[in-house]
Amino acid sequence: MVFDLNRGILKLYKIFLLAFFTSTLVANNTLNFSLIKKGIDDNNTLLIIGGIQGDEPGGFISASLLSTHYEITKGSVWIVPNLNFYSIIKRSRGPYGDMNRKFATLSKKDPEYETIQRIKSYIKDERVKLIVNLHDGSGYYRPTYIDNLHSPYRWGQCSIIDQTKLNIQKYSNLKEISQQVVKYVNKNLLKDEHKYHVHNTRTKEGDKEMEKTLTYFAINNGKAAFGNEASKSLATHTRVYYHLLALEKYMDIMGIEYKRNFRMDSKGVYAAINNDIYISLYDNRIKLPLSEIRGFLKYFPIKKDQIIDFKASNPLMKIVKKGNIYTIHYGNRRLSKLKADYQEYNKKNDKVSFLIDGEPRDIAFGTIVNVSKNFLVKHDENFRVNIIGYTNKQKIETDVNINKKQIAKRFSIDKKGYIYRVEYYSKDKFAGMVLIKFMS
């Protein structure tokens, strides 16, 4: 009786938790996972999956970078960078249990049932021929015991297969493919300790836990499937480096050709993860660069209907609402909180006139403008201008040259104090924003 009561309370709590979190989301901003298709379908598709567990950022950031920083010039790659997006936002292995143990049997009442059914449909798609599921694992896998951190009981730094071979036409020799990947990664190690090994879990021989996994479901549906593990002992960008090395070798094995727009080393990967990330809001009226954004921005113009319409540079970005606070997430990192200043929005999206270092320019809303010395906002009878952080005795903010020293640093949107907001209003409705970025 007590057990049944406790189980009922737990079930109600889970329902409440889901309902509460869902209610805090912006209406057009669900946490369904993304499927990003790159290249041209040729019946030889590589499916890459990241984010099945939200506490493994190396995996989901690697998949995300592949979607944003690679061009597939030959072949077909499908990418799911955020399979368990709720788990990623919550920084949890799985708020409703481990999603990677739900591929054998699953109740239709499970909160993740529809997600599992959807990813299964992509796994079973006849165009998909090889699948890589990206993970971050503890320590360093070693075939023989060395110490607690380097042993057969650890999962980091290995290529995982469930069995040696499959009876399929393409990519049937799982062990041989895994060995090729491991050999390639080991040619490009940053440290000897990071060495990769093949880890055959021999799932069919009685591993009941591994029988529930995504990769085992895949091979039982006639697909070559592999797990790739980077070590949680490594910095996130280092994990991403090793995941990307492995993925590039899988593409090479499949005859998929690509270009990437960053240097494949530790510094290059770090820069790709952290630089040039942004969110554009409300039909590009506002653009927020996020690499150095302050953790809290006050009086931020949010549309009165409380819906945030945004476009992001990265599929791991979401904005989550709670009360009048809108939190920008990048994977499991909380980048900034926007405190809403609710506004009616003007329907027009105009250009406005500036002098930038003495040169006239017409600038669209949502633009970030580089300024060396000073800027001047030209008066326009259609707009009221508010330069956030600028004050003078005459209360004039147009037709006057302004330099960085005249704007209070605490009002910058970035931590270093270089980027400032110029907001435009038309008949008391918010019209748009231009960001001024001082170069020094």
Position 1 pLDDT exceeds 60: no
| Dihedral-angle region of residue 269 (phi above 0 means left; psi in -120 to 50 means alpha; beta otherwise) | alpha
Question: Which token pair is 278?
Answer: 């942004």
Residue 286's nearest CA partner among 323, 239, 241, 319 is 319
Instruction: Summarize the confidence of residues 392-399 as an average pLDDT.
Output: 83
Q: How many CB atoms lie within 10 A of CB 298?
A: 13
DSSP 340-385: EEEE-B-S---EEEEEETTEEEEEETT-EEEESSEEEEPP-TT-EE
Predicted confidence band of residue 3 (pLDDT cuts 50, 70, 90): very low
Give the pLDDT confidence score for residue 10 in this predicted structure. 38
Position 4 pLDDT exceeds 70: no
Give the pLDDT confidence score for residue 349 in this predicted structure. 77
Position 247 pLDDT exceeds 50: yes
Residue 330's nearest CA partner among 382, 385, 291 is 291
| pLDDT tens, position by position, 142-189 | 999 999 999 999 999 999 999 999 999 999 999 999 999 999 999 999
Name the CATH code of domain 31-274 (choices 3.40.630.10, 3.30.559.10, 3.40.50.300, 3.20.80.10).
Answer: 3.40.630.10
Give the pLDDT confidence score for residue 6 in this predicted structure. 42
The distance in angstroms from the start CA to the end CA of the chain is 69
| C-alpha 350: how far from chain center | 31
Least confident of 39-43, 58-62, 116-120, 355-359: 39-43
Give the pLDDT confidence score for residue 25 in this predicted structure. 38
Instruction: Summarize the confidence of residues 258-285 as an average pLDDT.
Output: 95
Q: Which residue has the higher pLDDT, 332 or 392?
A: 332
Give the pLDDT confidence score for residue 7 in this predicted structure. 42
pTM: 0.90
| C-alpha 192: how far from chain center | 29
| pLDDT tens, position by position, 185-239 | 999 999 999 999 999 999 999 999 999 999 999 999 999 999 999 999 999 999 9
Give the pLDDT confidence score for residue 224 in this predicted structure. 98
Evaluate whether 83 touches 213 at the Cβ level (below 8 Å).
no
Q: Tell me how many degrees the CA angle 249-254-259 measures, rounded to the nearest 5.
A: 60
Evaluate whether 94 touches 87 at the Cβ level (below 8 Å).
yes
Instruction: Summarize the confidence of residues 297-303 as an average pLDDT.
Output: 95
Residue-averaged pLDDT of the chain: 92
Q: Tell me how many degrees the CA angle 143-202-255 measures, rounded to the nearest 5.
A: 85
* Strand stretches in 170-277, DSSP E: 197-200, 224-231, 257-260
Q: How far apart are CA 243 and CA 72, in angstroms?
A: 17
3-state secondary structure 32-56: CCCCEEEECCCCCEEEEECCCCCCC
Phi, psi of 75 (to 5 degrees): 100, -170
Give the pLDDT confidence score for residue 31 in this predicted structure. 85
| pLDDT tens, position by position, 25-70 | 333 346 899 999 999 989 999 999 999 999 999 999 999 999 999 9
Question: Mapping DSSP to helix (H, G, I), strand (E, B) and coil, where does residue 200 land?
Answer: strand
Domain spans in the chain, listed from the N-terminal domain onward: 31-274, 351-438
